[in-house]
Structure 1
Amino acid sequence: MFCFACRHFAPPTYGNADEAFIKSGFRRWKKAHGKDGAIEKHISSQCHKTSCIAWADYQRNKADKTSIAQCISEAYQKKVRENRHYIKTLGEIILLTVTQDISQRGHREGDDELNPGNVPDEAKDVSKAEQLALVIRFYDEIANCIQECFISFTQMDLLDAASITDIILKSLDKLGLDYKSSLVGLGFDGASVMSGGISGVQKRIRDKAPFVYYIHCYGHRLNLVLINVAKYVPQAAEFFSLLEELYIFASNSVVHEKFILIQREMLPEEQVRELQHLSDTRWWCRATSCENALLVQQIAVKIVQIVKQA
């Protein structure tokens, strides 16, 4: 037995438990059914949900008679507009921080701070290639203060600890910095490739620079707290699961067409809202999803009732 959605629309990577439904066909019937059965687990897997979304997108494009070339062209134009918006926003931020003579990164985020810090995150270029952002903080003896400088973005072909360590140390060597005796601190996220105490980046650098102290980024710590809190609060976990199921439901070509039509009828003066796919690593998308779901709540209820009656 195969899963139609996953066999035809599965993402490039998936778990071992999903492989039978995609490649070889599921045959273990004694373990197929029940709450902990293989079929139920597969239906709840991220692979299956992603495949259903891709299948729904395909059905919608087919119903609209939209070609792949048109999708690519529209997606490209949308990406250009987004990138221009991002570049403009980044430019405005840099102008503000330069005008106020404050660093791009800081450690004070309290409500009573006049100039709270700005915390950067990972970066990808337009082709989705991973980039390593290198920033150094140092004590300026002339100005008698802590300074911070952005050094570079470096495209990463490999994302293992050895490759990342090599890029960091080569960048410091290129600047003529004696990291073996002068480097005293490192700050990254908590991923094992970065923070691992046996072969992670921080351990590899500490082997060469004995005075280094590793700090787990507080921004990433907060993100991990939010993710885990949501998972262990039943109401929150059920709520976000419902949002994801609602998104998958509304992505069906027939349902999506009615969803847009009813939205335009009930809210003729409002901009059409689309439900958002959730992400575990970007909480802003969850906020957007909640906002859109709240604005179209009555419409979502009506479309569910229409489909149920049909």
Structure 2
Amino acid sequence: MIAWKEYERADKADALLMSTLSKEHHKQIEENCAYIKSLAEVLLLTATQNISQRGHKETVDADNRGNFLAILDMIAKHDPVVKKKMTGPRNAKYTSHQTQNEILDTLAEMVRASIINEVKESELFSLMADETKDLKKKEQISLVLRYYFAGAVKESFLHFESADRLDAAGLTHKIIQVLERCGLEYKSNLIGQSYDGASVMSGKHSGVQARIKEVAKQAFYVHCNAHCLNLVLVDTIKAVPQAECFFALLQRLYVFVSGSYIHNKWLNIQKEMYPGAPRELQRLSETRWACRHIACHTVLDRLPAIMRLLVEVASENSGDRSIDARGLLAHLTCSSLDFW
């Protein structure tokens, strides 16, 4: 009888211990999930707001540890779970750039899956693609899908893909590879394709559009209207001497202000004359008219600061810089160019 009671007491103690361990384990899982969710939300915020995440120096004694850690530190002041994790073991913080990239990839895959489901539901879709270089000067091809969903035409960015080969065959292979990886039925449902006017893309015999049409018979090719309009505007400007000189002057202003000494002086002058963040002059682009519009708007808005900058540099007698400033100042005050 005594042995049975001892057994029951031990059994109850074991059950209580297991229940306690189970509750603690469940609590730890909930805390981990809440913490990872906070990390993902911070990364989503920085990504959607297009602001940098990492800092140059992220040690505890650093003045600026970067946006990602700074936002987490602020959240930790109001969230005990985040504070516990941030002050816990280093291998359980999940704040390294490798973990950041993994979380961002997961978030991107969730968005991509939503887009793919919409395209599959709408069935028919068109493809837009363009090549560009990233900050490391590596060629990439961007893919955008256009489709009709929920009563409206939607254009959704699908994917960036590294372009190892820039010939028509290589680019075609990349595009088809992405569509197949996303599970999209392009052979019968792809009804349109749009690229710029580069021969490698638009060539009627061996360009990307011709190669795509060999496998997707209904994929009608349309030269990008925005690209066509941009070419028309650029060529029109070149046909008007006064306008061509005007934009050449804007480009010279951009080059002049880009020098380190002049640029620091430009920022300081703006801080004195205008409240808020300083503005940067824009480099003109041959393929994007919007850059010229922004350049004109910035010069018009900051013309007094530009004139003051040129006058101060011209009076410094500092060799080439002063000569360039005097030349630009003479052009800006020329009666044939009405900046005022």
What is the TM-score of this pair, normalised by structure 1?
0.50
Which whole-Å CA distance do the structure 1 matches of 2:192 and 2:299 have between them?
43
Q: Using the TM superposition, give the Cα deviation of residue 254 of structure 1 relative to its aligned residue in structure 2, in angstroms.
A: 3.5
How many residues are paired up? Answer: 201
Q: Are the aligned partners of 2:144 and 2:155 in contact in 1 as well (CA < 8 Å)?
A: no
Q: Residues 89-135 of structure 1: CA distance to partner in whole angstroms, max 9, x if unpaired? A: xx9xx9xxx9xx99xxxxxxxxxxxxxxxx99767777665133152
- Whether 1:132 and 2:142 are equivalent positions in the alignment is yes
Q: Which has the higher contact order (CA 8 A, sep 6+)?
A: 1
Q: 1:146 to 1:275 in 2, by over 3 A?
A: closer
SS in structure 2 at match of 1:135: strand
2:280 to 274, 278, 285: 274
Q: CA deviation at 1:77?
A: 6.2
Secondary structure of the residue aligned to 1:305 is helix
Decide which of 192, 207, 210 is 1:185's aligned counterpart. Answer: 192
Q: Deviations over 1:281-303 (max 9, x none)?
A: 33333222222211221222233
Could you tell me how far apart the structure 2 residues matched to 1:134 and 1:262 are? 42
Once the two structures are superposed, residues 188-210 of structure 1 have per-residue CA deviations (whole angstroms, 9 ceiling, x without a partner) of 22121110123211122334445
Q: Counterpart of 1:247?
A: 254
Residue 281 of structure 1 aligns to a residue whose secondary structure is coil
Contact 2:195 2:202 in 1 (8 A): yes
Once the two structures are superposed, what CA deviation does each residue of 1:231-253 show, in whole Å capped at 9, x if it has no partner? 22222221111011112222334
C-alpha distance in structure 2 between counterparts of 1:120 and 1:172, whole Å: 12
Query: Using the alignment, how far apart are the partners of 1:77 and 1:287 within structure 2?
Result: 33
Relative distance call for 1:262 and 1:300 in structure 2 (3 A) is: same
The alignment status of 1:200 with 2:210, answered yes or no, reads: no
Partner SS for 2:235? helix
1:263 aligns with 2:270: yes
Partner of 1:46: none
Matches within 5 A, 1:144-183: 152-173=159-180, 175=183, 177=185, 179=187, 183=190
Listed as ranges, the gaps of 5+ residues in structure 1 are 1-68, 71-75, 81-86, 103-118
Computed over aligned residues only, the root mean square deviation of the Cα atoms, in angstroms, reads: 4.5
Deviates more, 1:120-129 or 1:233-242: 120-129
Contact in 1 for aligned 2:172/2:212 (Cα 8 Å): yes
Structure 2 unpaired stretches of 5+: 1-55, 58-64, 70-103, 120-127, 318-340
Number of the residue aligned with 2:310: 304
In percent, how many aligned pairs have the same letter?
39
Distance 1:219 1:287 in 2: 15
What residue is the counterpart of 2:296 in the other structure? 290
